[in-house]
Amino acid sequence: MRYRNSTFGLRLIPLVILSVSATAAPASPPSWVAPPATFANPARREQLAQAYPEIDERIQAFLARERVPGAAWGVIVDGALVHVGVAGLRDVVTNAPVKSDTVFRIASMTKSFTAMAILQLRDAGKLSLDDLVEKYVPELRKLRYPTSDSPRLTLRHLLTMSPGFPEDNPWGDQQLAISESRFDEFLREGLAFSNTPGIAYEYSNYAFAILGRVISRVSGIPYSAYVRRYILDPLGMRSTTLEPQSVPSAQLARGYRLEDDRWKLEPQLADGAFGSMGGMLTSLDDLARYVGIFLDAWPARDTPATAPLSRASLREMQQMWRVRPTVVTRDAAGDIRLNVGGYGFGLGISQTCDFGHVVAHSGGLPGFGSQMRWLPEYGVGLIALGNRTYTGWGGMFDEALAILRRSDALVPRQVQLAPALVEARRSVNTLISSWDGVLIDRLAAMNLFLDRSKERRQAEFAALRESMGLCRERPGFLYSKNALRGDWLLECERGLIQVSVTLAPTPRPGIQHLELRGLPLDADVTALTGLPPQTCPR
């Protein structure tokens, strides 16, 4: 094997998690430690399920309208595939139907597997994301950069779609099956740059092909073998492969393009040197397992991890590391839609008027189009596979999420409060009822009275008590942005009091920010939640 003999071929040592038994009883957690965020609605899954028939109906209409030969789709909730839909044919010649185990090519969705492999090697101490690419691909040491002050390419540049290479989808699609020797020639010939590395997003299949070479060089085994051993097998993804010929004929979806009003078969490209950018084939069942581990990485918590990558690194993959230009559009209803997007590590990240954190990636090659999209804070994801060239699932997924929203069960996890914030609430409410100088001294962070004197704060409390009368606590918080920050309401005889508290980043988190605001009894409380609007303004 070529890579085994490479001077860069280091044997990958499997990660071992060591458990240490402690003889002493564990200390109680600090007062700033809060339980993980959780879903408040116990009937959430059942209510979400009520939306699935309408989603299926809309997808069936989409497939008929777009003339997609066959498709499979699913809904994932809390890491589990809870709903499956299939339609049409995996093979139009034999009239073989699509099933949930039918294997489709997922093209660029492969990139997240490549990114996961790089992070595994990083976590094992085999490489750094800020290493120069030429350390592992010496063919690039003599690369001609666009300017004399250009930074040299790093792994991070490649991972985040910011190497400065031109967008290459039409060209890249046709490189999938090239040989390793031809790839060597590509690298020795050099690369064209459209930008200086590190300053702009530009989608690059070439970048992820190079990352596949890095994985092979560092691990000492071919990319496909590495992904099989360290990602697919641990997740039980038995139907997933980079080689179409390894898929049983009775499971393989044939890819088609519509030409001259006829379905024409697109040849399946074999696995080659560019496989790490878009060669993967998988089934709905397998893809659900894969997406499930990304959803299961949220929220951060203490329980043991079972995925082939740590939850911290999985969350790292799902952050926006390279921003794209913001897009503003107007939908069919006339509403303005805002999309702020960028790239994480092998995953697209965006924020919309409806959702603050969306993770997704599509995949398109001649004959196929697929997409995976999930909402980390909501624990819900969508996956879909189609066998028409560049089957476009984006708009359909927008519709499906809108349908789920109407179920009133698509809501984010509720932040749980640290004991210190609960105690601060109780104590501030006591001070509103009856000022206590000793109590406020105990609560205050060192800055509280420097920002506004103790005497002035006492006068503000007294004025509110006088104007509002007797008060009682409304249950719950208006909102809590995190475990150490929140707003709540007191319902008084002559109005409402909104209390805003932020605790300090100290071992004993005193109050660093405290504001009281008097409101009329008929105040619109929904406007006080601090949450983003559900849709963009017209």
Long-range pairs for 179-185: beta carbons < 8 A, 24 or more residues apart: 179/272, 179/273, 180/2, 180/272, 180/273, 182/273, 183/209, 183/213, 183/273, 183/274, 184/139
Domain boundaries, the chain: 419-528
Helix (H) / strand (E) containing 404: helix 394-406
Compute the distance between CA of residue 528 and CA of residue 288 in angstroms, rounded to an integer: 38
pLDDT tens digits, the chain, 538 residues: what are they? 333 333 333 333 343 333 333 445 456 889 999 999 999 999 999 999 999 999 999 999 999 999 999 999 999 999 999 999 999 999 999 999 999 999 999 999 999 999 999 999 999 999 999 999 999 999 999 999 999 999 999 999 999 999 999 999 989 888 999 999 999 999 999 999 999 999 999 999 999 999 999 999 999 999 999 999 999 999 999 999 999 999 999 999 999 999 999 999 999 989 999 999 999 999 999 999 999 999 999 999 999 999 999 999 999 999 999 999 888 888 777 778 788 899 999 999 999 888 999 999 999 999 999 999 999 999 999 999 999 999 999 999 999 999 999 999 999 999 999 999 999 999 999 999 999 999 999 999 999 999 999 999 999 999 999 999 999 988 888 877 789 999 999 999 999 999 999 999 999 999 999 999 999 998 887 766 655 445 565 5
Report the Cα 486 to chain-centroid distance in Å: 26
Upper half-sphere CA count for residue 309 (Cβ side, 13 Å): 30
Any bridge partners for residue 518, and if so which? 497
**161 contacts 167 by C-beta, under 8 angstroms:** no
**216 contacts 223 by C-beta, under 8 angstroms:** yes
**452 contacts 60 by C-beta, under 8 angstroms:** no
Six token digits for residue 105: 């090519």
Question: Residue 145: is it exposed, middle or buried by C-beta count within 10 angstroms (0-12/13-18/19+)?
Answer: middle
Largest CA distance in the chain: 85
Find the angle CA(54)-CA(96)-CA(175) to the nearest 5 degrees.
90
Whether pTM exceeds 0.85: yes
Phi then psi for residue 430, to 5 deg, are: -65, -40
Upper half-sphere CA count for residue 244 (Cβ side, 13 Å): 20
CATH 3.10.450, domain 419-528, yes or no: yes
Q: Where are the alpha helices (DSSP H) in 174-281?
A: 180-189, 205-219, 223-227, 233-235, 275-278
